[in-house]
Amino acid sequence: MGLVEEYGRERVFNTPLTEQGIVGFGIGAAAMGHTVIAEIQFADYIFPAFDQIVNEAAKYRFRSGNQHNAGKLTIRSPCMGVGHGALYHSQSVEQFFMPAAGLKVVVPRSPIQAKGLLLASIRDENPVVFLEPKILYRSSVEHVPVDDFTIPLSTAEVLQPGKDITLISWGAPLYSCVQAMEMLKNPPASIAQHVPQSVRNASVELIDLRTILPWDRKTVAESVAKTGRCVIVHEAPITAGAGAEIAAHLQQACFLNLEAPVRRIGGFDTPFPHVHETWYKPGPIQIMDGLVRSLTY
């Protein structure tokens, strides 16, 4: 809003309705050394540009022997469930890009994070897919510094230190994680019987992964080596979701420390439904249940 008025039509402009065109165009301008911030209206519609992102943007530097690159390209796109978005206004797409070596994928959780991570993404010398949880666009409010600041990519953030179990997520589900932790501590009377006293005081270490590719394996592995238990939460379907990659790495890096299997909580392996969103998306209950089962394993 207001960017056209401030910076002019030549810098802030409409394109024809073509995702592959938008990303291809962005790559070309970035290859000429220009900073390009492209927008894909919904992450669900990034797939027409998948070829340009995976075969072109991600490989541009490598294939040219560092003669050319698309490093100044950032692709912003709204992602994740919004309550009623159904199949094509709800998807989490980060896992599709995880094998795209050369690409960075970033998901912020709040306004401060969004600004700091986006500025870092724009300035990063690699192409970045920046996924913005759209349910937070208007609901998440905090004081954001007007000044310039960045938050480094590929660094996870420990939001709450703990010693008994590690809870990892990114984007919107982090808020459900916080609610789940609260529920674990003080379960409502209606479900208290399912939450043993012994786990209610468990100390949960909550981690915001923030960058999905390349992700901060050190912070995550150190945490799980310490706690011995891990629950990973994402909205995307479980099979080959980003959680699979993290879990696989953890069993390799923390095998001797693990006291329970790494649990993954995500969407079901179905398309994202309309009226059934409550049952589909991991909410506080599913996450709390995951924590209980891991802690009592």
Query: Cα separation of 95 and 250, whole Å?
Result: 17
Name the residue nearer to another protein (CB basis): 216 or 277.
216
For residue 255, state whether it binds another protein (rule: CB under 8 A): no
In single-letter form, the type of residue at position 112 comes to I
Is 68 among the catalytic positions?
Answer: no
Is 84 among the catalytic positions?
Answer: no
For residue 13, state whether it binds another protein (rule: CB under 8 A): yes
Stretch that binds another protein, among 57-65, 142-150, 254-262, 268-276 (CB under 8 A): 57-65
User: Taking a C-beta distance cutoff of 8 angstroms, is the pair 108, 210 a contact?
Assistant: yes
The catalytic residue among 5, 6, 19, 205 is 19
For residue 27, state whether it binds another protein (rule: CB under 8 A): yes
Interacting residues with another protein between 132 and 191 (CB under 8 A): 154
Stretch that binds another protein, among 45-53, 139-147, 230-238, 255-263 (CB under 8 A): 45-53
In the block, residue with structure tokens 């590719």:
213
For residue 67, state whether it binds another protein (rule: CB under 8 A): yes
For residue 64, state whether it binds another protein (rule: CB under 8 A): yes
Cα–Cα nearest to 212, from 290, 105, 68: 105
List the end-to-end C-alpha distance of the chain, in Å, as a whole number.
Answer: 51
Query: Cα separation of 266 and 203, whole Å?
Result: 22
Stretch that binds another protein, among 60-68, 157-165, 226-234, 258-266 (CB under 8 A): 60-68
Q: Is residue 107 classed as helix, strand or coil in its secondary structure? A: coil
Query: Cα separation of 232 and 249, whole Å?
Result: 12
For residue 26, state whether it binds another protein (rule: CB under 8 A): yes
